[in-house]
Amino acid sequence: MQDDSYEYRNLPDHPAFDWYAERIAEQRAVLDELDAAIGDVALVLAPHLAGEPIGPKALGELLDTVRRRDGSPPPGPLRPVVDLESGVGDWDRCTGCG
């Protein structure tokens, strides 16, 4: 069994490993469906972070870690665009958000 971060070999027969394999399969199915639905828009994956990235520097660092599903870097460079600063964080421009 393999996910994007690690390859598991010779796993013992145990329900925990079965559960994990099922979750990976479910996530891959959702990503396949999303990838098909968005057409020409490139789907990229970002790692889970313990905290929320706040500010242009933190968002830029997050963008540096995103990868395509095959592990290759996305076309770039990707950089955040900040239009408004609220004082408690930054509001990113959202195209088509009104």
CA distance linking residue 42 with residue 5, whole number of Å: 20
pTM for the full predicted model: 0.54
Q: Between β-strands 82-85 and 90-92, what pairing exists: parallel, antiparallel or unpaired?
A: antiparallel
Work out the burial of residue 9: count CB atoms within 10 Å of its CB; fewer than 13 is exposed, 13-18 middle, 19 or more buried.
exposed
Q: What letter represents residue 51's amino acid?
A: G
Mean pLDDT per 10-residue section of the chain, whose length is 98 residues: 57 81 88 90 85 86 86 76 61 48
Question: What pLDDT sits at residue 97?
Answer: 45
Quote helix, strand, coil % in the chain, to nearest 5. Answer: 35, 10, 55
Question: What pLDDT sits at residue 64?
Answer: 85
CA distance linking residue 78 with residue 66, whole number of Å: 9
Question: What pLDDT sits at residue 50?
Answer: 86
Given a contact cutoff of 8 angstroms between Cβ atoms, the answer to whether 8 and 1 are in contact is: yes
